[in-house]
Structure 1
Amino acid sequence: MEIDIMEVRGAGDGAASGEYVRPLTKRYSWAEVRQAVHDLRKELSCLSTMVPIAISFRKLGNGKTRIYFLRNPQNGWEITLLYTDVTPSQQTNNSRLDWKPLIESNVALGVTSGKWSREEQLLWERQRVAAWGIASYELHPSSGRIMFPCASSLFVADEGISQSPPLVPRSLNTGGGAPLTPAMCPRAPELVAHAARGDIWLAGGQLRRPTRLTYACRGHEPDSISGYRLADDPRQAGVPCYVTQEEFSRYTGFWWQPKADDDVFRIVYEEVDESEVKIFSFPSSQSSSGEVEEFRFPRAGTPNAKSSLKMVTFRLQKTAPTTVLDYYQEGAAEHSGEVTNGCMEVTDIRWYELRHPLKDSFPWFEYLARVGWTPDGNYVWAQLLDRRQQRLELVLLPLSQFSAPAGYTHAPHYMQAGGYEAQVEQPTQDIQVLISETAPDAWINVHDILHFLPRAGHEMSFIWASEESGHLHLYLVTCAIHTKNVHSRSVIDMITDDESVAVGPNIISKEPITAGEWEVMARKIWVDLPRQLVYFVALRETPLERHLYAAPLCPPRPHAVLLLTTVGHSCAVDIDDDCTMAVITSSNISSVPVTRVYRIASPPRLLVQGTITDRPPSESLETRSFNGSWDSRSGDGDDTDSETGILVRERSLSISEIPPPQILETRLSCGLTAYCTLWRCARAGRSPTVLHVYGGPEVQTVTNSYKGIRQLRMHMLAARGFNVVAVDSRGSKHRGRAWEAAIKGKLGQIELDDQVEVLQWLAKETGCIDMERVAIHGWSYGGYLSLLGLATRPNVFRVCVAGAPVTCWRLYDTAYTERYMGAPARAPHAYTRASVLAHAPFFPDQEGRLLIIHGLADENVHFCHTAALTAELVRLGKPHRVQVYPGERHSLRAMHAAKHYEATLLHFLHENL
């Protein structure tokens, strides 16, 4: 801890009038600070509380329910698949549920080899995956088949009468390339589709060989003459473009048909054309290679990728393997049943596109936000968004619309279009709009809530979420479905006033299920049809806590919403398909997460069936998981439910020895309530303080939940004598449309006003903040606000530490920037006002006040942001310091980089605050 020493300066001591005079403090060497980081990581290791994530359920024949989840096993660091069996009971039972490994621990999955492809690493960046090991899996409940990708390979394992855990997974031959977003066929789980090398592939233990299903991409093998160039390969199938993944959180680009009445397998997929998207080069993430990596990145105001929906169909044909080698390539030699039945071969591959492409039917459409199938497999649905993100339509695409033959110039000759059969018998139905929404004064937040109910005649009912009331709420919508032949009238007859070749909404009824000045979480709902109930997670009691609720599908509503979890905690919830069992992890800001299994009784109430306990502390576990920076839009809130850091456990404090942060609330001058979190250091009186800021949209940092290792550095700073403050200002998430939209066209203005106002109130309220010694620090959007804070309020913030900051919004991507700022050509003055570069002349002239940190391989907020600001600061003669991390992307994932960053941060604050 620092020791303040009084310093008195006379008139001749060189202090200019009004100039800040820093109290003399004990100075720490770099070696001392680095050792302190090492020690603090040990002492704070108790923050690393692991909770089950990615919950799945499966009913067993003995009446039990098997619950699958991801977590690290006891005495282990690698995330793996675990399970526990529960016997549903009418009585409550809070006993411990033993969990066991589903996968044999001695099986080598290649995790330790570091065989993670570039494609996998980039997908993790988009998904904010913070795991080391098995990051995702898929369960086919009826067959018991488990499939998961790991270390550029694809594995499957089967539970059955003759096979019980721990299972020995086998690797599928995927044809080369890292398998991305793999998905089992719902009708035939032995078939696994995945994206690799820009196309969709099919793999399976019974397939004679992996089969390429699309040919959008020319291929990633170097050309014998000129070598491979990204510019020569602008198309890909089954893989969303960058902004779709980063800004709309859609990571898959293909979807299996769930049901069919014939022997044809169908996959609808997105084909992306990025020929107009500019290519940028960055230093390789392999920092010592000296090579560069190419990325397509659409900057604000420039062309986006173009998306179209297509369909691939195929059949399977049984054929006998011809050589012994075939058996081993397919893994069939280990599975005698598969050898006896012979091998399957993919035949009759056909490609179809829409009779009228989406861009013809909806000329305004820019982003393909969500896609899926109706449960009966007769329709594809899609959420279409315009470029301004102020208009969204949910459209229904009948299977018969995918009837125009398509082809690929790079496909083998025998697969070219020709001899195509019709998908379905005529008549052909129209494309139909089910829902149309606009938000002229804000933007539309894309969500995942869409649940189709069993169809009745020519009507279709579904549960939909909308912000039309100002807050996200659930609605039960019933629409009439048109069956008129599209070929019986001309295209001109179908063109509406906005030149859309589709039938407009025909809503019979739209009834609110929930209502009020609170939000439903936009991720998932669970529908209990027999009891006519819908379960959902929402923020009704307080915007700081997530709770499970039940509401009736039939009247009375929306006033019959029932709270099922305990106030004072925030919950992460998973429910089985029958809505009879739930797994709920609850915590609050001062208590660690507890995961319990519940039976859902009738009328709705929760009966605890057992507790999935945390693993006991283990000794000397070396961290090999994510150790990144305070970046990402998952923030430090509850949007990411996992706790994935594991620390060295040589000398750990207990939870009771680490003071929990406090949540405080105040009323802003605008009349609205703001919440903040305070990590108070142990020293008495007023202390130097760090305002840890994100401040941007899509994130909520202040919640009544235990965040553990995600807030490691806040606890580190507090342990070193600094208070830490985090504020959710206007523009942050989960407070309603008006609260969010306050920043539209005003990035960097409203947020900083609120942050400073709350900071000043907190200083008066608590008496622990030395307003002469305040630092502002953040990452990504928080880095942007940190820079603006120092440039525009140098009298408030003594120092600034900005990580991976945006410095000019014209350099950032289209979807994010234009959502909040509009297009640069339409709002040039707003872009100038929001630019850090325009404020460069106002940065302080004193040394030791500005530190910028950036990963050189950052493909999200490119290093050119820091380079542009640095060039301007150099031109103006402004003092500053830049810390570069070669090989690191937007998140600092390497342990040595994370530790160096922490030491750099602490040393800079000790020296200058």
Structure 2
Amino acid sequence: MRKVKKLRLDNENTGSWRSFSLNSEGAERMATGTPTSDRGDAVEMEDPACRFQVQKHSWDGLRDIIHGSRKNSGLIVNKAPHDFQFVQKRDESGPHSHRLYYLGMPYGSRENSLLYSEIPKKVRKEALLLLSWKQMLDHFQATPHHGVYSREEELLRERKRLGVFGITSYDFHSDSGLFLFQASNSLFHCRDGGKNGFMVSPMKPLEIKTQCSGPRMDPKICRADPAFFSFINNSDLWVANLETGEERRLTFCHRGLSNVLDDPKSAGVATFVIQEEFDRFTGYWWCPTASWEGPEGHKTLRILYEEVDESEVEIIHVPSPALEERKTDSYRYPRTGSKNPKIALKLAEFQTDGQGKIVSTQEKELVQPFGTLFPKVEYIARAGWTHDGKYAWAMFLDRPQQRLQLVLLPPALFIPTTQDEEQRAAFARAVPRDVQPYVVYEEVTDVWINVHDIFYPFPQSEGEDELCFLRANECKTGFCHLYKVTAILKPCSYDWTQPFSPGEDEFKCPIKEEVALTSGEWEVLARHGSKIWVNEETKLVYFQGTKDTPLEHHLYVVSYESAGEIVRLTTPGFSHSCSMSQNFDMFVSHYSSVGTPPCVHVYKLSGPDDDPLHKQPRFWASMMEAASCPPDYVPPEIFHFHTRADVRLYGMIYKPHAVQPGKKHPTVLFVYGGPQVQLVNNSFKGIKYLRLNTLASLGYAVVVIDGRGSCQRGLRFEGALKNQMGQVEIEDQVEGLRFVAEKYGFIDLSRVAIHGWSYGGFLSLMGLIHKPQVFKVAIAGAPVTVWMAYDTGYTERYMDVPENNQVGYEAGSVALHVEKLPNEPNRLLILHGFLDENVHFFHTNFLVSQLIRAGKPYQLQVGSSANECLKSSQEQAVFRLIPCERKWRRELITSHGMTKVVGKGALELPQEAWQLGTHDHLKAGTLHRTSLPCLTQPVLRLSRDSKNEAQKRKWVANGKWQWIMGSYKRTSVCRQKVSGSQRWQVKRCLFLLS
């Protein structure tokens, strides 16, 4: 408390007071004005820090707090080992049973490296054995000098959300002991195990020299012959021999032109949407077996690959943050409702002689065009080969993402690529009539299909006309479960030389049997790279799931021969991520809880014959024990509640660190709220969400709630967002907020901020729009503000195509509802990375232009060189405020004489500069959007020719004119190009300033 003396000033009315405070010595210090009398009563007054339960810090003070928390988190962040590979040792007399390889960050290092640990055959039950981490590579610099990656590597890091440096992935061939990995903008390999035995000291990896220009991406070892490996260079597929150094280009799609407009094709490369929205980061797959053909007995090796033609996909130009450079990055980006790339599956084959020399190469395509065989396929979600190499397989998805087909493609269905029609017809005649694709499984839903990797085909016996496989399916019951399926491969007779028009269920195989191995209102984990491990000898399948609770991931085992008891193998009270050894006798678990930092332990499964399900796995050794938490870290508390609709929701709360009875604390609601993400679970939050603990240490309460739309609760729970994103999530968040306010007495509902990134940034804006009385402040990071401007794969999965759901698109686009935002200043802060190639800066740009037009206050902070997740620690801690509005507006007006100011924050383009019917209006005169990033898309004023109708403001997205014609003759929402319009005349063309 402070003492404040109230003074009445000579020229003020009774009841008017100014104040001053008493310093520690009792001397008076005026707050405002100069007193004419020292008469007055001394009263006690609360400090703002006491009143509001948070202390005001200077800018430097806040920066020091953030840097301090990041420094403490460095003790545990990114240190845990991952990407495990078990290799069993065959030396019966040796002390070790396995060598375990992995990626990790050694003590004192700042980059990932290849490491290994030796697992002993015997351990003492009463002692904790801590395995040592041993370096595989000797004094190896894996990160490029100065941290400069190629453009391709940088984009892949963004897609995979990689925050570590060094070696981030590797390919391993267990029989030969070969390791292959990218590092320092090159490729390297080394060997350990195999016929040469295991090393005892670190080795120098060998750099693989090349004649190629540019980075070699996505390297893979040939499973059938590890002397060969493949990679992508300049959007084409290459193969090379490690022993001879020979390199050979297998595909010739890309022409190496600098202009992306003139070079739209690629081979073996996953497109942006496939990487970003379907988690597939490769576009080619080695056949696991080789064949010997021809009189010379040459070995034939095959690669299945995806060929992509993006010639009809829109090109996005992202300007450089250094405006004076006038540079742009250009790449293909399919906005929702627009055309996706054209796709096809092809084969690349090459033959080698006895010395490993490549003697011939050949490209092959399907006997009928891909679009003819599969006319409704929009995405190749996954692909690969059966274990015996008899079939290539692919998961095909339609555009609404409500129908998935699992298709087998025999190699004989592919014929050599040729432009000669007669020759092509001859190749087609050579294809046997009973060779065809087989649709062995199909999933259909009215919600959407969540793509995953779980498909395990069992080997076929010779002449067998059935295929048995394990598959995870979410569509049958609304929860993802495992099924054992037997499909009958019943061939028909096709003349592939004739024109072909497939029927609705063409190539569909009858299902002989489908047995559910798991069931219930819980999920087998299938998305985000989750795996299953199948032991064909014991008929067991190991999987990860949420059977015990949706808040914890565990490893389970069940028999696929006689489905019955499901046994949990991991310790309850934690959330686990596991990897199994190849001979199924051990597994390693990376686990944690909200109160326990990550641990990594090895467990042994082999037990007595009367315990086939390993009901009591034995702890064997520790690879990493839980680190000490930072001294100011207080774990969150998990809670649950039931909504008015009787839906059980989970949340967690970070309590303010200095809670005083009866005192109310300002509250931050941290949101994501979108599909495919679960924020609330029983895993350690002190790494990824350390900033939430920092807020709690400053006196804020922080609340996190997983409402309807989040994952791990079933398809119907997640599918509550179908066609109405942004319209249901906020209600769940507000109900949860009121629940915790009632349960915990320190929540101040009159001072609540809502904050999130990406989808959470979108919901932050929605919260301030629809619940301004609940949320006093919104901090929106990289928000999607116009769903029409987001990509096809994500938006159409949840919102359908725009023409089928215009009401949902308009209701969910925050930039179209800015008039509902509050008029008070300091209630809206927008954060965005200028070079974000996922949620483009256009979204914030367009939102700001609408805010200016509506006269709404806002604050904007931009990361100058950051993408959606700001890269540098400086940009993560401190955003740079851009004081651009008045400055940019003045510069534009003076440097472009052809324009003039129209109203607040807009420039008018004169009529003589218009070129209707084309997109040239975007570049008319000297107004180039690439050089003026503060310009949004054009906004048109349109009016009826005949009568003086009220003018409507219109906006453009996706290169197609959008307008609403209101209630005139009850005309509903309509879209068409201006060039095709006879009823409307363009009166004015405006560019809005952001």
Shared fold, TM over 0.5 = yes
* Structure 2 contact 525–544 (Cα < 8 Å) conserved: yes
1:604 aligned partner, one-letter code: L
Report the equivalent of 1:132: 165
C-alpha distance in 2, partners of 1:90/1:903?
Answer: 58
C-alpha distance in 1, partners of 2:696/2:866?
Answer: 27
Report the equivalent of 1:714: 692
Report the equivalent of 2:510: 506
Q: Which string of whole-angstrom CA distances, capped at 9 and with x for unpartnered residues, describes residues 775-828 of structure 1?
A: 000000000000111111111111111100000100100111111111111111
**2:571 aligns with one of 566, 582, 590:** 566
SS at match of 1:520: coil
Report the equivalent of 2:358: 346
* Structure 2 contact 73–686 (Cα < 8 Å) conserved: no
Report the equivalent of 2:947: none
Report the equivalent of 2:559: 552
Report the equivalent of 2:750: 772
* Structure 2 contact 113–142 (Cα < 8 Å) conserved: no
Matching of residue 540 in structure 1 with residue 573 in structure 2: no
CA distance 1:101–1:878, shift in 2 (3 Å): same
SS at match of 1:871: helix
* Structure 2 contact 429–497 (Cα < 8 Å) conserved: no
Percent identity of equivalent pairs:
36
C-alpha distance in 2, partners of 1:709/1:536?
Answer: 26
Report the equivalent of 1:431: 437
2:251 aligned partner, one-letter code: T
Shift of 1:471: 0.2
CA distance 1:691–1:268, shift in 2 (3 Å): same
Report the equivalent of 2:22: none
Report the equivalent of 1:123: 156
1:258 aligned partner, one-letter code: P
Stretch of structure 1 that moved more, 177-186 or 443-452? 177-186
**2:704 aligns with one of 726, 736, 748:** 726
C-alpha distance in 2, partners of 1:394/1:902?
Answer: 49
* Structure 1 contact 93–609 (Cα < 8 Å) conserved: no
C-alpha distance in 1, partners of 2:73/2:197?
Answer: 45
* Structure 2 contact 178–189 (Cα < 8 Å) conserved: yes
**1:663 aligns with one of 635, 638, 656:** 638
CA distance 1:286–1:260, shift in 2 (3 Å): farther
1:455 aligned partner, one-letter code: Q
Report the equivalent of 2:469: 462
Matching of residue 111 in structure 1 with residue 111 in structure 2: no
The equivalences for 1:543-622 within 5 A come to: 543-555=550-562, 557=563, 559-602=564-607, 603-605=612-614, 606-614=617-625
Shift of 1:399: 1.1
CA distance 1:134–1:524, shift in 2 (3 Å): same
CA distance 1:92–1:269, shift in 2 (3 Å): farther
Report the equivalent of 2:648: 673
C-alpha distance in 2, partners of 1:216/1:407?
Answer: 15
Matching of residue 196 in structure 1 with residue 233 in structure 2: yes
1:476 aligned partner, one-letter code: K
Say which structure, 1 or 2, has more relative contact order (CA 8 Å, 6+ apart).
1
* Structure 2 contact 255–263 (Cα < 8 Å) conserved: yes
2:439 aligned partner, one-letter code: V
C-alpha distance in 2, partners of 1:423/1:254?
Answer: 28
Report the equivalent of 1:70: 103
CA distance 1:536–1:477, shift in 2 (3 Å): same
Matching of residue 867 in structure 1 with residue 867 in structure 2: no
CA distance 1:531–1:782, shift in 2 (3 Å): same
SS at match of 1:312: strand
Report the equivalent of 1:479: 487
Report the equivalent of 1:100: 133
* Structure 1 contact 780–861 (Cα < 8 Å) conserved: yes
Report the equivalent of 1:330: none
CA distance 1:892–1:50, shift in 2 (3 Å): same
Report the equivalent of 2:224: 187
Shift of 1:604: 2.6
1:798 aligned partner, one-letter code: K
CA distance 1:106–1:671, shift in 2 (3 Å): same
CA distance 1:486–1:723, shift in 2 (3 Å): same
1:801 aligned partner, one-letter code: I
TM-score normalised according to structure 1 size: 0.85
Report the equivalent of 1:55: 84
SS at match of 2:176: coil
* Structure 1 contact 172–204 (Cα < 8 Å) conserved: no
* Structure 1 contact 731–742 (Cα < 8 Å) conserved: yes
1:898 aligned partner, one-letter code: Q
Larger radius of gyration: 2
2:669 aligned partner, one-letter code: L
**1:367 aligns with one of 367, 373, 379:** 379
Report the equivalent of 1:650: none
Q: Which string of whole-angstrom CA distances, capped at 9 and with x for unpartnered residues, describes residues 501-524 of structure 1?
A: x42121110000001110000021
CA distance 1:229–1:488, shift in 2 (3 Å): closer
* Structure 1 contact 354–401 (Cα < 8 Å) conserved: yes
2:69 aligned partner, one-letter code: L
* Structure 1 contact 285–889 (Cα < 8 Å) conserved: no
The equivalences for 1:626-645 within 5 A come to: none
Shift of 1:114: 1.8
Matching of residue 177 in structure 1 with residue 214 in structure 2: yes
The equivalences for 1:766-845 within 5 A come to: 766-845=744-823
Report the equivalent of 1:858: 836
C-alpha distance in 2, partners of 1:420/1:130?
Answer: 53
Stretch of structure 1 that moved more, 112-121 or 245-254? 112-121
2:790 aligned partner, one-letter code: Y
* Structure 1 contact 381–397 (Cα < 8 Å) conserved: yes
* Structure 2 contact 670–702 (Cα < 8 Å) conserved: yes
C-alpha distance in 2, partners of 1:834/1:156?
Answer: 50
CA distance 1:12–1:317, shift in 2 (3 Å): farther
1:520 aligned partner, one-letter code: V
Report the equivalent of 1:761: 739
Report the equivalent of 1:248: 278
Shift of 1:46: 4.3
TM-score normalised according to structure 2 size: 0.78
* Structure 2 contact 372–502 (Cα < 8 Å) conserved: no
Shift of 1:720: 1.3
* Structure 2 contact 79–106 (Cα < 8 Å) conserved: no
CA distance 1:93–1:307, shift in 2 (3 Å): farther
SS at match of 2:601: strand
**1:358 aligns with one of 353, 362, 370:** 370
The equivalences for 1:678-757 within 5 A come to: 678-683=653-658, 684=660, 685-757=663-735
C-alpha distance in 2, partners of 1:902/1:43?
Answer: 25
SS at match of 2:372: helix
SS at match of 1:396: strand
C-alpha distance in 2, partners of 1:366/1:135?
Answer: 31
Report the equivalent of 1:380: 392
C-alpha distance in 2, partners of 1:57/1:861?
Answer: 39
* Structure 2 contact 788–802 (Cα < 8 Å) conserved: yes
Report the equivalent of 1:209: 246
C-alpha distance in 1, partners of 2:460/2:59?
Answer: 68
List alignment gaps of at least 5 residues for structure 2.
Answer: 7-13, 18-47, 293-298, 883-994
C-alpha distance in 2, partners of 1:382/1:5?
Answer: 77
CA distance 1:580–1:738, shift in 2 (3 Å): same
Between the two proteins, the alignment pairs up a number of residues equal to 812
**1:877 aligns with one of 839, 843, 855:** 855
Shift of 1:423: 13
Matching of residue 516 in structure 1 with residue 520 in structure 2: yes
C-alpha distance in 1, partners of 2:4/2:164?
Answer: 45
Q: Which string of whole-angstrom CA distances, capped at 9 and with x for unpartnered residues, describes residues 432-485 of structure 1?
A: 100111112x11111110001121311110000111111000000011123445
C-alpha distance in 1, partners of 2:876/2:743?
Answer: 34
Report the equivalent of 2:339: 303
